[in-house]
Amino acid sequence: MFGTHDVPLLRRIVVHAAQLEVRDGGYEIHMLYGIRMADQHALTAQGRKVRTLISYGEHWFPWYMWRLAERPANVWFVVKSVFR
pLDDT of amino acid 1:
84
Q: Is the pTM of this model over 0.75?
A: no
Cβ 43 vs Cβ 50: under 8 Å:
yes
pLDDT of amino acid 32:
84
The 10 Å Cβ neighbour count of residue 10 is: 19
3-class DSSP string for 57-83: CCCHHHHHHHHHHHCCHHHHHHHHHHC
pLDDT of amino acid 12:
93
Residue 75: C-alpha distances to residues 12, 22, 27, 65, 68 (Å): 23, 32, 26, 9, 6
Write out pLDDT tens, residues 52-81: 988 778 888 887 788 778 777 777 777 777
Query: CA 12 to CA 52: how far, in whole Å?
Result: 20
pLDDT of amino acid 29:
93
Query: Where are the chain's structural domains?
Result: 2-82
